[in-house]
Amino acid sequence: MSLPKNTQIIRWTVIATSFIIVALILWNTYDFFQKFKNEERSKMEILAGAYERFSTFDLNADFSLEDKIIGKNNNIPMIITNEKDSITLWANLDSIRTEKTSYLIKQLAIMKSQNSPLIVSHKRGNTKQYIYYRDSDLLTKLKYYPIALILILLLFACVIYLFFKSNKVAGQNKLWTGMARETAHQIGTPLSSLLGWIEILRLENTDESIIQEIENDVNRLNIIAERFSKIGSIPVLKKHNIVEATQNAFNYLKSRSSKQVKFDFKTTQSEIFTNINLQLFSWVIENLVKNAIDSMEGKGNIALKISEDSKQVIITISDTGKGISKNMQQKIFSPGFTTKKRGWGLGLSLAKRIIEDYHNGKIFVQKSEIGKGTTFAIVLKNYL
């Protein structure tokens, strides 16, 4: 279901505009960062000049300006070394951690990697000192601002994606619900006519066994119509013997399948009670069994087993079919996904919704091996 053309244009225009705005902000931040970095370099050059003038040792000179320049450097971390690269002075570093030589050496390495040193030449003694410095805390924070902005943009993009995706899924669900209910409504009309024709056949003394078979199929269609009518609405759950419900659905397909398919039904107890919607639960069992038959191409073994413990009821359905690859095991429950040439890919998706959303249970591929078969598992709460 595609969006109208105008809506798509508006949507992409908004997205493109958002990215352009973010790109401009990032560029502006980078430009400001470079200017601020150059400004700090200029401050350190002035500082180096002040240190150099102090080295003149002219007792009559006025050093108040230089003293003010040096005193005002209270935010740019710096280390001064001599010509032998020994640390002689430092400023604006952690006062506690500077007691450790290793900390000073590490900071010096960071400063060397960030900025080239400023050279202070002393005329007396013809010696030199080197001023190393690193970015101020404010500049460091500014450096990470674009990264934070990108992360915010990604978060914003994820929110938009999830919003559009949820709207799309909601629209699809509404469409499937409407189709299911309309199908149930359309089936109801011919069903009423068929029931009338059955009574006419009885009045004309038609073979009762034939009438019974027709009646069974009509009842079956009625069950299918009721199932479709419940899609999209919250079903009523009642306490049922899950062994009986499962066996009835299992036997229905057993009686209508090829003799080359062997059916095996096992249970640890003859009666296990739990809250289910009988019609929808039977639909899930029939769907899994039918998928197993299709996977085996009408020839092989199907085993259904019911077991329980104090907390849950476990139903497994195993076949000797083609198997499912690991990367496909999660996709098979997605709406519209199918490996069959014919079909809408809704069976397992509906089964998942019925078990997990309506019955608060779980349905999953317990194990599968290509060429050997697959085992599906259903887990429901146990009501002892």
The two tokens of residue 162 are 């999830």
How much is the pLDDT for 44?
74
Q: How confident is the model at residue 384 (pLDDT cuts 50, 70, 90)?
A: low
Backbone angles phi, psi at 33, to 5 degrees: -60, -45
Question: Does position 315 have pLDDT exceeding 90, yes or no?
Answer: yes
**What confidence score (pLDDT) does residue 358 get?**
86
pLDDT at position 1: 45
Report the sign of the C-alpha dihedral through residues 211, 212, 214, 215, in that order.
Answer: positive
Check residue 341 and give its pLDDT. 56
Tokens coding 184: 């149930």
Least confident among 18-27, 157-166, 184-193, 216-225: 184-193
Q: Please give the distance of CA 366 from its chain centroid, rounded to a whole number.
A: 22
For residues 242 and 306, give the distance between their C-alpha atoms in angstroms, rounded to a whole number. Answer: 9
Residue bearing the bigger pLDDT, 223 or 103: 103
Most distant CA pair in the chain: distance in Å? Answer: 137
Q: In the predicted model, what is the mean pLDDT of the chain? A: 79
Tokens 């799309």 belong to which residue? 168
The per-residue pLDDT for range 44-99, each reduced to its tens digit, is 777 777 776 666 555 555 556 556 666 667 778 888 898 888 888 888 888 788 88
Quick one: tokens of 86?
């020994």
Q: Which CATH architecture has domain 235-381?
A: 2-Layer Sandwich (3.30)
pLDDT mean over 108-121: 86
324 is written with which tokens? 């499912």
Residue spans of beta strands (DSSP E) within 196-241: 238-241
Percentage of the residues of the chain whose pLDDT score is greater than 90: 19
Would the pTM count as exceeding 0.75?
no
Strand 300-308 versus strand 261-267 pairing type: parallel
Residue 188's pLDDT band (cuts 50, 70, 90): low
Of the ranges 147-156, 246-255, 337-346, 366-375, which one carries the lowest mean pLDDT score? 337-346
- 87-91: strand order across its sheet: 87-91, 78-81, 127-133, 118-122
Domain ranges for the chain? 5-135, 141-213, 235-381
Local structure of 145: helix, strand or coil: helix
Count of all residues that appear for the chain in the document: 384
